[in-house]
A and B are shown apart, each in its own frame.
Chain A
Amino acid sequence: MSDRPHPFLIVVAGLVYLFLMLPLVIVVGAALSDTTYLTFPPQGLSLRWFENIFEISAFRRTIVTSLQIAFLGTMIALLIGIPAAYALNRFRIELPKWLGTLFVLPILVPEIVFGFALLKSFTVGTGAPIFLSLLIGHTLIVLPYVVRVISASLASFDFSVEEAAISLGSAPVKTFFTIVLPNIRAGVIAAFILAFITSLNDVSVSLFLTGPGISTLPIQILAHVEQFFDPTVASVSVLLMFLTVAVMAVVERTLGLTFLAK
């Protein structure tokens, strides 16, 4: 078989990529339109819909909440996920196999079921504040990504290096920070980015965990779309896309982009 795929397959792949890219191009175009309704190609270029995002207080508020939750949730997930991933790799024989499966559960069970269950059993059950519930929900949905990416990083780490440091008199905790952590730096960065973006984009869990004054950006976008059909949402979408591009550029700089495909 020659290395070159059949022309038919190349055409199909080309069309699939066109299908993937065109809608996003259309969103960008619609965001730049000067009209008060959504249209493409844009009629008269303007950035006024971008200004409009920040004039609507609900958008301003939810952007802040979303960034807070994504940052805090990701940090907590790293804080509890890195030791867990380390334990899974370092004590593979001593720890039961189901423990690894447990950490995947948050992406295995339907997210919307998790969101509902958290609302019903935790928020309503204990009267916990909405912000706290939202933070817990987001921490848990990004935990599987953190554990998986860090585990993949640790899989190629030679634990005998750590063993050597400890037998030469380095304290175990200090050894972790001076020997292990620097070696999995790339994995930690990747885990942070993946978790942050996942949290920022989440709909299904946040859907139930919003209350008076507290909501996340994707939920606000959903609510806005159902009421108004103006280019504001297109502008927010473009803003989010820019954020994604920026993040991908950071990944490219530090790790190389094929890292994300693993």
Chain B
Amino acid sequence: MTSRRFWRRSGATGWALSAPATLAVIGFLLIPIGAVIAGTFMDPRGVFAPYISYFNSGFRTTVLFRTLQIAAITTIISLIFGFMTAYVVSRAPGKLKSLLIVAAVFPLLTGVVVRAFAWLIILGRNGILNQTLLGLGITSEPLEMLYTQGAVIIGMVYLFVPLMVLSLVGVLENIPKDVLQASSSLGASPLATFWQVLLPLAVPGLIVGAVLVFTGSFTAYATPQLLGGERQTVLATLLHQRAMVSFDWVGASTIAAIMTVITITIVLAMSHIARRINPMAT
């Protein structure tokens, strides 16, 4: 009895129960990724040689900045439309609200390949949009919409708006209605209440949503591959191409290291900021 009590109190049971999952994450995720990153610093040409050659390549720096740009634009568009939509959803009456939430969940559960493929049908040279534009006589020849940065951004916004809507609905519902009523009963116009009361209260949620969307679009593969092709190479597609087509493992590892560092930095920095703005957030 005494030994069992000791066993249950000491936390040893806790360690034992979480051991399989802990070891799996350490052994199959932390160590392999650590090994990939460490490997980039053991190049015979010098410690930082892979990074120097990465940033000396005009093409590869362009890819890095293009990826950051696409992720930033996607995040901003998703924030704007996601926030407005989430606001409407959070104020919708019960039945309609559940329906709207389901309608946002459904695309999320549909795979990324399917969702990118849908835009391939729409934006293609003989796609629906071109057929419509030609049919209406708006253009005389099909527009080249595929394999542009715009196509990639549309595909990414399509991917991430539902995520933004869903994470913001929760945040907006947690804002007490009394606060908004107080604002309007003290004479603020609906617009002023929106900008000066609702928006500041939603900032921590907006930051969380923005981090999700930014890191998601920064590392997405299928959408830029299908809608952007080689002309819109991003870090993820470059990593795959380096590793599986060129068998340039050092180059691929360098890209992997750059992606990991940028992603982790953004997540840590933004969660720090979110916590400072709202001490209540966990």
CB within 8 Å of B: which residues of A? 1-6, 9-10, 12-13, 16-17, 19-21, 23-24, 26-27, 30, 37-40, 79-81, 83-84, 86-88, 90-91, 93-95, 99, 102-103, 105-106, 108-114, 116-122, 136-137, 139-140, 143, 147, 172, 197, 200-201, 203-204, 207-208, 218, 221-222, 225, 229, 233-234, 237, 240-241, 244-245, 247-248, 257-258, 260-262
Q: Which of B42-79 contact A (CB under 8 A)?
A: none
Q: Which DSSP category, helix, strand, loop or mixed, fits chain A's interface? A: helix
Given A1-B181, A3-B91, A261-B170: A116 and B256 interface contact (C-beta under 8 Å): yes
Whether B239 pairs with A112 at a CB distance below 8 angstroms is: yes
Contact A19 B158 (CB under 8 A): yes
Asked whether B148 is an interface residue with its Cβ less than 8 Å from the other chain, the reply is no
Contact A110 B113 (CB under 8 A): no
Q: Choose one: A40, A116, A208, A241; the contact of B121 (CB below 8 Å).
A: A40
Given contacts A79-B20, A237-B118, A260-B105, 16 further A-B contacts (CB under 8 A): A6-B191, A12-B85, A26-B121, A38-B124, A87-B18, A91-B11, A105-B30, A108-B267, A110-B236, A117-B256, A137-B28, A201-B110, A204-B236, A218-B112, A241-B110, A261-B166
Q: What distance in Å separates the Cβ of B193 from its nearest Cβ neighbour in chain A?
A: 5
Q: When A2-B190, A222-B222 are in contact, do A248 and B89 touch as well, CB less than 8 Å?
A: no
Question: A3, A16, A113: which contacts B161 (Cβ < 8 A)?
Answer: A16
Residues of A within 8 A of B31 (CB): 121
Contacting pair A143 B115 (CB below 8 A): no
> Are B14 and A109 closer than 8 Å at their CB atoms?
no
Q: How far is the CA of A239 from the CA of B242 in the complex (A)?
A: 33
In the complex, the answer to whether B170 meets A26 with C-beta atoms within 8 Å is no
B102 and A248 contact, CB distance less than 8 A? yes
Report how far A85 CA is from B114 CA in the complex, Å.
32
CB distance B259 to A110 under 8 Å? yes
The one of A10, A23, A99, A113 in contact with B119, judged by C-beta atoms closer than 8 angstroms, is A23
B158 touches A225 (CB 8 A): no
**A95 & B15 in contact (Cβ 8 Å cutoff):** yes
- What CA separation (Å) do A178 and B182 show in the bound complex? 49
Identify the interface centre among A136, A208, A222: most chain B CB within 10 Å of its CB: A222
Asked whether, in the complex, the Cβ of A24 is within 8 Å of the Cβ of B161, the reply is no
For chain B residues 197-217, which have a beta carbon within 8 Å of chain A?
215
12 pairs, A vs B, C-beta closer than 8 Å: A2-B184, A9-B84, A16-B161, A24-B115, A37-B126, A80-B20, A84-B18, A87-B18, A109-B29, A112-B236, A117-B256, A122-B28
The number of chain B residues with a CB under 8 A from chain A is 94
Q: Find out whether the CB atom of B84 lies under 8 angstroms from the CB atom of A12.
A: yes
With A1-B193, A116-B239, A261-B101 given, is the CB distance from A26 to B256 under 8 Å?
no
Alpha-carbon separation in the docked complex, A26 to B122 (Å): 8
Flag whether B133 is at the interface (Cβ < 8 A). no
- 6 smallest CB-CB distances across A and B, nearest first, come from A94-B11, A91-B14, A201-B111, A23-B118, A121-B32, A110-B219
Residue B233 CB within 8 A of the other chain:
no
Contact B21 A27 (CB under 8 A): no
B25 contacts partner chain A, Cβ-Cβ < 8 Å: yes
Separation of A260 and B259 alpha carbons in the complex (Å): 30
Q: A114 to B33, Cβ gap below 8 A?
A: yes
Quick one: given A91-B14, A111-B219, are A208 and B101 in contact (CB under 8 Å)?
no
Q: Given contacts A1-B190, A88-B18, are A237 and B8 in contact (CB under 8 A)?
A: no
Q: A20-B107, A257-B101 are in contact. Are A1 and B180 (CB under 8 A)?
A: yes
Would you call B28 and A83 a contact (CB within 8 A)? no
A24 to B116 alpha-carbon distance, docked (Å): 10
- B278 at the binding interface (Cβ < 8 Å): no
User: Would you call B35 and A116 a contact (CB within 8 A)?
Assistant: no
Contact check: which of B32, B101, B118 meets A118 at CB < 8 Å? B32
Nearest opposing residue in chain B for A139, CB measure: B24
Q: How far is the CA of A95 from the CA of B243 in the complex (A)?
A: 39
CB distance from A132 to the nearest CB of B (A): 11
CA distance A203 to B32 in the complex (A): 19
Q: A121 CA to B243 CA in the complex, in Å?
A: 13
Q: Is the CB of A109 within 8 A of B263?
A: yes
Q: How far is the CA of A204 from the CA of B111 in the complex (A)?
A: 12
Q: A38-B121, A91-B14, A225-B226 in contact; A109/B260 too (CB < 8 A)?
A: yes
